[in-house]
């Protein structure tokens, strides 16, 4: 059980992390700077409700996240969505808000911001979180009903899909993922054809 925290500025970065990469880590740093966060909780999704299933099992994705976050004490792995069922962002946000006693900062890309109104229980999302939006593309939608902070720097343009494709083709992924994650991928033959 998570102990209640006293007045902390906590960011949430939820995702499939299949695999975690430098873009995720840099996005978290941008959010920390933009909102003066004390920490960022990385929340791996066991079963993503909005995407096809993950390419590798949850335990591999968690192991890679643990390795990637080891060097940054303000980045914390939180297995809040570990149940073997689709978990929606509003559920995670409500759970974290209950623990913190205040709204968490939910980190997302501008592409997700554009589609946020389509997310399950949008009303609860905007009522219970402050959004930190990292521009992946120009922002064309205003959401006056949502509290939001917009970072002024574009994240690194890399995706988990691109990394999986490179591994499948036998191409190097050096500098795209932390070295420990790269080693883990190869030792466990993840994403190979």
Would residue 18 count as lying in a domain? Answer: yes
Would residue 44 count as lying in a domain? Answer: yes
Would residue 66 count as lying in a domain? Answer: yes
Q: What is the 3-state secondary structure (H, E, C) of the chain?
A: CCCCCCCCCEEEEEECCCCCCHHHHHHHHHHHHHHCCCEEEEEEEEECCCCCCCCCCHHHHHHHHHHHHCCCCCEEECCCEEEEEECCHHHHHHHHHHHHCCCCEEEEEHHHHHHHHHCCCHHHHHHHCEEEEECCCCCCCCCCCCCEEECCCCCCCCCHHHHHHHHHCCCCCECCECHHHHHHHHHCCCCCC
Query: How many distinct structural domains can be found in the chain?
Result: 1
* 193 residues of the chain, pLDDT tens digit each: 445 455 689 999 999 999 999 999 999 999 999 999 999 999 999 988 876 778 999 999 999 999 999 999 999 999 987 777 888 999 999 999 999 999 999 999 999 999 999 999 999 999 999 999 998 877 788 888 999 999 988 778 899 999 999 999 999 999 999 999 999 999 999 999 9
Would residue 88 count as lying in a domain? Answer: yes
Domain range holding 81?
10-157
Would residue 141 count as lying in a domain? Answer: yes
Would residue 180 count as lying in a domain? Answer: no
Would residue 173 count as lying in a domain? Answer: no
CATH assignment at residue 147: 3.40.50.620
Would residue 177 count as lying in a domain? Answer: no
Report pTM: 0.92
């Amino acid at each position: 059980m998570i102990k209640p925290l006293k007045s902390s500025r906590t960011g949430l970065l939820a995702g499939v992390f299949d695999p975690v990469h430098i873009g995720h880590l840099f996005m978290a740093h941008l959010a920390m700077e933009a909102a003066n966060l004390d920490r960022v909780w990385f929340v791996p999704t066991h079963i993503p409700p909005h995407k096809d299933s993950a390419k590798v099992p949850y335990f591999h994705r968690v192991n890679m996240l643990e390795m990637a976050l080891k060097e940054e004490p303000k980045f914390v792995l939180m297995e809040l969505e570990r149940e073997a069922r689709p978990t929606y962002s509003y559920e995670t946000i409500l759970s974290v808000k209950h623990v913190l006693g205040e709204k968490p900062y939910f980190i997302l890309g501008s592409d997700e911001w554009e589609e946020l109104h389509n997310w399950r229980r949008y009303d609860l999302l905007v009522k219970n979180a402050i959004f930190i939006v990292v521009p992946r593309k120009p922002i064309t939608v205003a959401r006056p009903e949502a509290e939001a902070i917009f970072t002024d720097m574009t994240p690194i343009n890399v995706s988990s899909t691109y990394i999986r494709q490179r591994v499948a083709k036998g191409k190097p992924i050096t500098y795209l993922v932390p070295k420990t994650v790269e080693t883990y991928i190869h030792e466990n033959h993840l994403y190979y054809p």
